[in-house]
Amino acid sequence: MAVIIDEQRRIFTLHTQNSTYQMKADAQNVLLHTYYGEKTDNSDKSLLYYQTDRGFSGNPYEMGRIDRTYSMDSLLQEYSSFGTGDYRITSLKVENKDGSQAAELRYAGYRLHQGKYFIPGMPAVYAENGEAQTLMIRLADPYSGLKVELYYGILEETDIITRAVKITNQGTEDIVLKKAASMNLDWEYGEFEWISFYGRHGMELNFQRERIHHGIQAVGSVRGTSSHQYNPFAILCEKGADEKMGSCYGFSFVYSGEFLMEAEKDQIDRTRLICGIHPDNFSWTLHGGDTFWTPEVMMTHSGSGLGKVSRNFHKVIREHICRGGWKEKQRPVLINNWEATYFDFTGEKLVAIAKEAKKQGVELFVMDDGWYGKREDDSTGLGDWFPNEKKLGCTLKELAERITAEGMQFGIWLEPEGISEDSDLYRCHPDWAVAVPGRKPCLSRGELILDFSREDVQDYIIKRIAELLGGIPVTYVKWDCNRAICDKFSRMLDGSRQGEFSHRYVLGLYRVLEELTEKFPEILFEGCGGGGGRFDAGLLYYMPQIWGSDTTDAIERLSIQYGASFGYPVSVMGTHVSTVPNHQTGRVTPLATRGCMAMAGTFGYELDIGKLTQEEKTEIREQINLFKKHYNLIQHGDYYRISSPYEGTCTVWEIADPSGREVLISAVYHHVQANPVPVRVKVQGLKDEAGYQLFLNEDFNEKYPGKRLPFGFRPGEVISGAALRQFGFVVPEAVNGFQAWQIYMKECPYPCE
């Protein structure tokens, strides 16, 4: 049983395979948080709380006269509220009819059921009844009609606990939500560090680790999307925790809009973490009877380091967030024409790229931006989702059929949320673009954004895109969004409700995505936000992969994909091999290195293969074969970070089959030195007692049967899993700049006959 309830003492203990979470309704009906960490028993952890005089913090009225140790400002709470004695960051802030901001949340009951709750109109973890339990705890403000239901989804096997909050106004007077976070987590003690991921367009998901200090630390987005700048994923870990050791907590926000993740270390060294919709652009009016659902947060705890946090998220995203046929199905190796042509192409040119790619084993051709309306650069045409037949030299259907006749699948790029001022759609519906009436809106990449909070706009886009896709043999759609949102205003909302715009936009986007993905279940949708501007677990509910970054440079991708690996599996990371010198950095890297990097993702190409030498074409063919051979291992295996791109000379990662039968290790030299210090890798995920053969870069063993491998032994020699784990092996030295090695290990009979 995942959830144990002590009715008499009102203690709720949630167990997953390796963690325990506990809360308790105390004598004052405050729902206390009592424990989250390594798996333990059901005993009441609040007995171990330290309490002392908190008269200067303030005490609730009934307690102030009798027990000054009891203060909302120091209690560990499940869901804190602003304005009634808790001066820390809080999860809920309301405005009552009289203008006051007080809310006191008191325990009012619970409900437990099999299966996982779902959230209307929003993405959330899903699970079979046998895989999850839902606990709902009800809190209510005794002075108003405010009712707050805290939802917990417990996925025992996966070590994941989800949280979301349903807020209802049961009274008759309006209540305005000013802040409604999805979760609050309090720790009584501990020295913590927090890991977050920051960036910019083309350079997303940089890793940063800081000490939690007194005061407030926060990352978030007020950009309408989850953003290039901060990712809605963070880890809080005990000081010094590393990949294999230490207590670590991970938090992933299942949402594609504005968010805030904030942490505060308070006056008595207690730490609080809150995650939810960013309150800066938010307010939501609840009339009597109205309900508001917050988005969901996924949490996990690992007692054995950061690596396990990541593997837990990889599993839950692969199995309980991604949906549809493409969740399991092998995804095609694709070629995208963006970096090959940008806007400068014709139908003939595209067919030529597709044909050449097909010869090397590519399976899907993707036509990127520039095929519609009057789109010759990025300042025009967005919104006119009608093919430019003059440019293509034929109808879209004919083009798609020419490509499919070559034995290639056909995919198409769209940016349905964008609208150019120079477009027929804008000329017809200028009011559909987001802008504050009477003010000039901000342009971004030359474009405006459609007001997706409006139902008529959503309906139009669903209809137009459905008609477009319905008429052609298409199996892939890249859904791009190339700007952040400002000038937030919707003509469909009253002045008093403009604070609802950003969240309503995201709800509108989710409705459009739900309907289109349901209508076209055979299409593989790939998300994109000018690269990684919308790289979040919310989008993955609709699209099982997201283009990781507009930077395709293999060395820059090391840090982007390293950052992503903390919260997201390889199977969702859009990665392509592009040409050299790289278009974003001018750097020249070996084709093998670019291939190795792209294989740590969905894998594809973004260049004109026709312009390559025969040798390069052969290498591409070999890369595709190698990727397909190891497809299951790469996409479904357990991921281990061995060394980081921010240190040393070589970034190493490993993907191990959960059975321990095979492992693929990738090593990329991000820095080349003379007389280098050896890079030693201690292999994880192998079976100690089994024997393994090592293969270098696919063909080394076959090409040089008698030659010593750079690891020391000869092809065919076998070494034990224990030795590889305890002693490890040394990655071969780099023989050229930015060299990559792929080392495959396979179990074989041992000891050798």
d(CA 222, CA 484): 9
Compute the least distance from the CB of residue 224 to ligand DGJ, in Å: 16
Structure tokens at 346: 């014709």
- When the beta carbons of 266 and 415 are compared against ligand DGJ, the nearer one is 415
Structure tokens at 306: 């950061």
Compute the least distance from the CB of residue 399 to ligand DGJ, in Å: 18
Burial degree of 141 (CB within 10 A; 0-12, 13-18, 19+) = buried
Structure tokens at 391: 């440019």
- When the beta carbons of 81 and 225 are compared against ligand DGJ, the nearer one is 225
CA-derived radius of gyration, the chain: 27
Compute the least distance from the CB of residue 445 to ligand DGJ, in Å: 8
Among 642, 673, 674, which residue's Cα sits nearest to residue 656? 642
Annotation says 536 is catalytic: yes
- When the beta carbons of 375 and 504 are compared against ligand DGJ, the nearer one is 375
Q: Which of 515, 616, 622, 698 is catalytic?
A: 616
Compute the least distance from the CB of residue 634 to ligand DGJ, in Å: 22
Beta bridge partners of 650: 669
Compute the least distance from the CB of residue 732 to ligand DGJ, in Å: 34
Residue nearest to ligand DGJ as judged by C-beta position = 369
Q: Which of 86, 536, 550, 638 is catalytic?
A: 536
- Asked if residue 125 lies in contact with residue 154, where contact means CB atoms within 8 angstroms, the answer is no
Secondary structure (DSSP) of 599-614: TTTT-EEES-GGGS-H
Instruction: Determine the 3-state secondary structure of 473 from DSSP.
Output: coil
Compute the least distance from the CB of residue 53 to ligand DGJ, in Å: 57
- When the beta carbons of 531 and 691 are compared against ligand DGJ, the nearer one is 531
Largest CA distance in the chain: 86
- When the beta carbons of 502 and 549 are compared against ligand DGJ, the nearer one is 549
- When the beta carbons of 318 and 576 are compared against ligand DGJ, the nearer one is 576
- When the beta carbons of 366 and 655 are compared against ligand DGJ, the nearer one is 366
d(CA 197, CA 232): 8
d(CA 742, CA 745): 10
Annotation says 38 is catalytic: no
Compute the least distance from the CB of residue 606 to ligand DGJ, in Å: 8
Secondary structure (DSSP) of 630-691: THHHHHHSEEEEEE-TTSSSEEEEEEE-TTSSEEEEEEEESS--SSPPP-EE---S--TTSE
CA of residue 366 relative to chain centroid, distance:
23
- Exposed e or buried b per residue across 549-588, where buried means at least 16 C-beta atoms within 10 angstroms of its C-beta: bbbbbbbbbbbbbbbbbbbbbbbbbbbbbbbbebbbbeee
Secondary structure (DSSP) of 323-345: -SGGGTSPPPPEEE-HHHHTT--
Q: Which residues bind ligand DGJ (CB under 6 A)?
A: 338, 368-369, 413, 480, 482, 528, 530-531, 547, 550
Active site residues: 536, 616
